[in-house]
């Protein structure tokens, strides 16, 4: 039996201490809310932006002029797949304010002395990704949150978002600061879900035996998306899985930081955009032709290489500096140790496994879901993308509106007595009280195998009604086996077990959505519906649960 360590109350509870979560905490505190932030690790080094970033999508009026210039480029970028236009415009309109705040706080948004845009760009077209030095962003944002009185509780993942009658009541959390797990109960008027990118759902492509070799934070398992799904929140675009790219066997983001040209083995450029390294644009080929690396590997024309040999000494020094801003210090250390010089040695690039990034909770223009008092921000937003820029901006927006919501909400005094809380506590008590069984790694590998075999996305992998129906059936079988055999020896293993249970729910929601989208679009390739249906071009597929039963419906994309 797991004991309760403490009971807390808050106006606004933030789940996740990444960029979106910290900005939500700051935004809510600035509105006078009493804020608690839970992070499963430590806010100084957690999330997808743990060690830095160097590109911030935004609109800077004095550089771009009309906001429409940035919007048009945005809709031609890698972020253009799943967006309601009013949310995009709200993000862009608010972005100058957030950029200025970050710069004032000590995150250097003007490392060249002025706002400077480079990377992820087409030659001769406007550039919309601000080049900045984000190596200290988590430290700075943590300091800003604490300065405002935010109570940050590290090493405390949320196990369940709690609600009653369609309204948020609080969160059941786990204290993992010691080997022995303990519960933490937080009653809250509003919750901002910001647990981020979904890793470990599909078999890791570069190194299948190493599930933590991922381009994003491997502990980012979209926990709050699954918890919102169980609350009845609308999820959208779950079938539109994403595949990033970067160095082939050491999975890392930051492909736009490399100043080089993607080339075939014989030296020909893979794409038509640049033939020599261009520090201002980078090589946007991998943004436009996202499957290039897999296509070349499968056709035998590869491997594809990042060739920086034509870059000047100054540009290579700039790239090394930018990699530190991006947080790629481990990659730099590895290349130094192994004697890899990007100026002389081509680096093989590859496409990574499917993941969920900006697929998830449907929000309105203020960041609120259909569940009263539940807000979302960051990579888990289902109908607005934009990477770290949108995470920062919509975190701030969601936090401010969550603080305003508290004025019409109430605190549930005894959430530990609510049926949902008791049910989940009983589940985790059972996992911890078992002496033998299957560990979380076994369960995670089994889930990855089912997802990869029956619901993987393109290229060179197809979905179908029969494959997805079989996959949904096998997920149901796996759920029974996990609930009957999964066990945890300590707090850390219990956290991992909870993550896998959340991933299982996300896999189910993904398969249900993929089976319903009867067409091929983007990376969602159907062998039984090989065409792209123009009638579904501006349609979003919404999935949710009612009394435990999955439901789905189509809605128009908001223009």
pLDDT tens-digit readout, 508-551: 999 999 999 999 999 999 999 999 999 999 999 999 999 889 99
Domain 426-546 classified CATH 1.20.58.100? yes
Please give the backbone phi and psi of residue 353, each rounded to the nearest 5 degrees, phi first. Answer: -65, 165
Q: Is the pLDDT of residue 81 over 90?
A: no
Percent of the chain with pLDDT over 90: 91
Mean of the per-residue pLDDT values for the chain? Answer: 95
The reported pLDDT for the residue numbered 252 is 92
Q: pTM of the full predicted structure?
A: 0.97
- The arithmetic mean of pLDDT across residues 87-98, rounded, is 98
pLDDT in tens, 52-63: 999 999 999 999
3-state secondary structure of 439: coil
Residue 15 has pLDDT above 90, yes or no: yes
- Is the pLDDT score of 77 beyond 90? no
State pLDDT tens for residues 356-372: 987 899 999 999 999 99
- DSSP class of residue 521 equals B
Q: Region 336-355: what's the mean pLDDT?
A: 96
3-state secondary structure of 437: coil
Burial of 97 (0-12, 13-18, 19+ CB in 10 A): exposed
Torsion angles phi and psi, residue 415, rounded to 5: -65, -25
Contacts of 353 (CB under 8 A, 6+ apart): 202, 203, 204, 205, 214, 243, 452
Write out pLDDT tens, residues 17-59: 999 999 999 999 999 999 999 999 999 999 989 989 999 999 9
How much is the pLDDT for 290?
Answer: 84
The closest alpha carbon to 358, from 182, 547, 153, 197, belongs to 197
Q: Given this model, what pLDDT does residue 338 score?
A: 96
Q: Evaluate if residue 386 carries a pLDDT over 90.
A: no
* Most distant CA pair in the chain, distance: 68
Q: What is the pLDDT of residue 76?
A: 84
Residues 6+ apart with CB under 8 A from 306: 247, 258, 260, 261, 262, 263, 283, 342, 346, 347, 348, 349
pLDDT at 371: 96
Residues forming beta bridges with residue 90, ordered by sequence position: none
DSSP strand pairing (539-546 vs 242-247): unpaired
Report whether pLDDT(391) > 80: yes
For residue range 408-422, what is the model confidence (pLDDT) as tens digits?
Answer: 777 887 899 999 999
> Each residue of 436-471: pLDDT tens digit?
999 999 999 999 999 999 999 999 999 999 999 999
Residue 341's φ and ψ, nearest 5 degrees, are -110, 105
Compute the average pLDDT of residues 77-106.
Answer: 93
Peptide bond before residue 99 is cis, with ω within 30 degrees of 0: no
pLDDT value of position 360: 94
CA-angle at 14, arms to 508 and 353, nearest 5°: 40
Q: What is the pLDDT of residue 230?
A: 97
Structural domain spans, the chain? 54-133, 248-353, 426-546
Q: Predicted confidence band at 125 (pLDDT cuts at 50, 70, 90)?
A: very high
Position of tokens 């949108």?
390
Across 327-340, average pLDDT? 95
Please give the pLDDT value at position 411: 81
262 phi and psi, to 5 degrees?
Answer: -75, 130
More confident residue, 197 or 232: 232
Q: How many residues does the chain have?
A: 559
Does the fold of domain 426-546 match that of domain 248-353? Answer: no
Bridge-based pairing state of the strands 182-193 and 4-15? parallel
**From CA 429, how far away is CA 265, in angstroms rounded?**
55
Q: pLDDT tier at 122 (50, 70, 90 boundaries)?
A: very high
pLDDT tier for residue 284 given thresholds of 50, 70 and 90:
very high
In the prediction, which pLDDT does 263 show? 98
Mean pLDDT of 482-486: 97
Structure tokens at 487: 């066990």
* Level-2 CATH architecture, domain 248-353: Alpha-Beta Complex (3.90)
* SS3 per residue for 171-237: EEEEECCCCCCEEEEEEEEEEEECCCCECCCCCCCCCCCCCCCCCCCCCCECHHHHHHHHHCCCEEC
């Amino acid at each position: 039996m797991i004991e309760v360590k403490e009971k807390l109350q808050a106006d606004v509870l933030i789940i996740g201490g990444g960029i979106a979560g910290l900005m939500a905490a700051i935004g809510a505190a600035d509105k006078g809310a009493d804020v608690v932030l839970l992070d499963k690790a430590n806010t100084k080094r957690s999330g997808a932006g743990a060690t830095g970033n160097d590109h911030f999508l935004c609109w800077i009026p004095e550089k771009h002029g009309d906001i429409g210039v940035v919007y048009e480029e945005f809709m031609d970028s890698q972020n253009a797949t799943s967006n309601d236009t009013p949310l995009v415009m709200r993000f862009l309109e608010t972005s100058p304010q957030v950029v200025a705040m970050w710069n004032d706080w000590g995150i250097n948004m003007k490392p060249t002395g002025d706002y400077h845009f480079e990377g992820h760009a087409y030659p001769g077209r406007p550039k919309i990704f601000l080049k900045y030095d984000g190596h200290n962003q988590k430290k700075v944002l943590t300091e800003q949150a604490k300065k405002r009185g935010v109570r940050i509780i590290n090493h405390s993942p949320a196990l369940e978002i709690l609600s009653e009658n369609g309204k948020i009541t609080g969160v059941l959390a786990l204290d993992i600061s010691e080997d022995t797990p303990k519960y933490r109960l937080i009653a809250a008027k509003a919750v901002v879900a910001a647990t981020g990118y979904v890793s470990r759902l599909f078999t890791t492509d570069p190194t299948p035996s190493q599930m933590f070799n991922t381009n994003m934070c491997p502990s980012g398992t979209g926990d709050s998306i699954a918890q919102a799904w169980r609350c009845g929140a609308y999820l959208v675009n779950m079938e539109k899985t994403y595949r990033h790219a970067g160095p082939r066997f050491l999975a890392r983001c930051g492909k736009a930081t490399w100043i080089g040209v993607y080339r075939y083995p014989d030296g020909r450029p893979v794409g038509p955009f640049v033939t020599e390294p261009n520090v201002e644009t980078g090589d946007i080929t991998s943004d436009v032709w996202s499957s290039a690396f897999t296509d070349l590997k499968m056709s035998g024309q590869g491997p594809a290489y990042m060739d920086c040999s034509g870059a000047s000494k100054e540009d290579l020094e700039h790239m090394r500096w930018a990699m530190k801003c991006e947080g790629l210090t481990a990659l730099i250390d590895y290349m130094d140790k192994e004697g890899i010089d990007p100026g002389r040695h081509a680096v093989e690039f590859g496409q990574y496994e499917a993941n969920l990034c900006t697929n998830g909770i449907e929000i309105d223009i203020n960041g609120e879901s259909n569940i009263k008092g539940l807000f979302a921000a960051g990579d888990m937003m289902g109908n607005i993308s934009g990477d770290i820029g949108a995470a920062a901006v919509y975190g701030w927006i969601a936090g401010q509106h969550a603080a305003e919501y508290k004025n019409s909400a109430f605190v549930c005094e005894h959430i530990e007595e609510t049926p949902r809380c008791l049910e989940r506590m009983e589940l985790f008590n059972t996992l911890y009280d078992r002496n033998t069984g299957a560990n979380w790694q076994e369960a995670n590998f089994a889930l990855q195998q089912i997802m990869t075999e029956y619901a993987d996305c393109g290229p060179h992998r197809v979905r179908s009604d029969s494959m997805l129906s079989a996959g949904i059936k096998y997920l149901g079988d796996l759920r029974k086996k996990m609930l009957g055999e999964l066990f945890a020896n300590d707090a850390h293993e219990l956290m991992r077990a909870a993550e896998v249970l959340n991933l299982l729910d996300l896999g189910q929601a993904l398969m249900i959505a993929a089976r319903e989208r009867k067409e091929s679009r983007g990376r969602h390739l159907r062998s039984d519906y090989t065409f792209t249906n123009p009638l579904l071009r501006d349609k979003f597929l919404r999935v949710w649960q009612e009394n435990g039963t999955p439901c789905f419906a189509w809605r128009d994309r908001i223009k």
